[in-house]
Structure 1
Amino acid sequence: MHSIKLEDDNYCFACGRENPCGLKLSFHYSNGKLTSEFTPSKIHQGYRDITHGGIITTVLDEAMIQAAIAEGINPVTAEINVRFKMPLMADEETIVKAEIIKRGSK
């Protein structure tokens, strides 16, 4: 396996400020907890007025990554598994929260 240099060029789909098609998420980190406000719009829907699960998973993935970065970890996502309990409606303001609850060797 080879090493890849991770470089932020502000074009991340989730948080990049320069990506015209991106979500432009911003995060607040305090006392080990990370939060972000996210309000999906109609362009993020799958079925009528329901936010696409891939968009929701992207937001969750980015929150986990940003929480790890805030703790001094340089992460990449190897695998993600999401089980949805209810739909997130388009135009529904949502607070996303993440925190590191356990640090392992991987």
Structure 2
Amino acid sequence: MKKFAFQDYFPDDVAVCYGCGRHNHEGLHIKSYWENDEGVCRFMPEAHHIAFPKVVYGGLIASLIDCHSICTAMAHAYKIEKREMGTEPGIYFVTAELNVRFLKPTPTETELVLRAHVTESEDRKSYVHCSLFAGDIETACADVLGVRVQSYRKE
């Protein structure tokens, strides 16, 4: 059985996000999956993602964490409601707060692994903690507040 990424469930008309949208041809096209109770994303930086030689640009790190964390919040909300991802009405979140801590330089020549989990959810808010690893080394982490919003679907 094929394992689908959280982002694979997004309807075509909303799958345009720079971070994860399959219809954004200039985007990063990240994919997030459940591994136990964590949302996990793997990303290999490209040569143009640098800040300095062999060091990943911090804005890219923030973008990866932002998109992966919000997708994890959405997937978690479907779990809480005991619904399959992609079922209607769709569940959507936006970023209300993104507090990134850069712990060490992130190398460009290593696959990056993001691990996110919802630490708390209440009403329309989900609090997500995300860590970014280069190999076994945590190079950045963030606390993200996602807020559930009405559908982005075109009527």
**Same fold by TM-score greater than 0.5:** yes
Residue equivalent to 1:18: 23
Match of 1:75 among 58, 83, 93: 93
**After TM superposition, which residue ranges in structure 1, 4 or more long, deviate above 4 angstroms?**
none
Measured in 2, the distance between the counterparts of 1:91 and 1:14 equals: 20
SS of the residue 1:36 aligns to? strand
Report how far residue 30 of structure 1 moved: 4.3
Amino acid at match of 1:25: I
Is 1:100 aligned with 2:118? yes
Higher relative contact order (CA 8 A, sep 6+): 1
Measured in 2, the distance between the counterparts of 1:87 and 1:21 equals: 25
Stretches of structure 1 that go unaligned for 5 or more consecutive residues are 1-6
Aligned length: 100
Measured in 2, the distance between the counterparts of 1:12 and 1:24 equals: 9
Stretches of structure 2 that go unaligned for 5 or more consecutive residues are 1-10, 78-90, 126-155
Measured in 1, the distance between the counterparts of 2:47 and 2:35 equals: 31
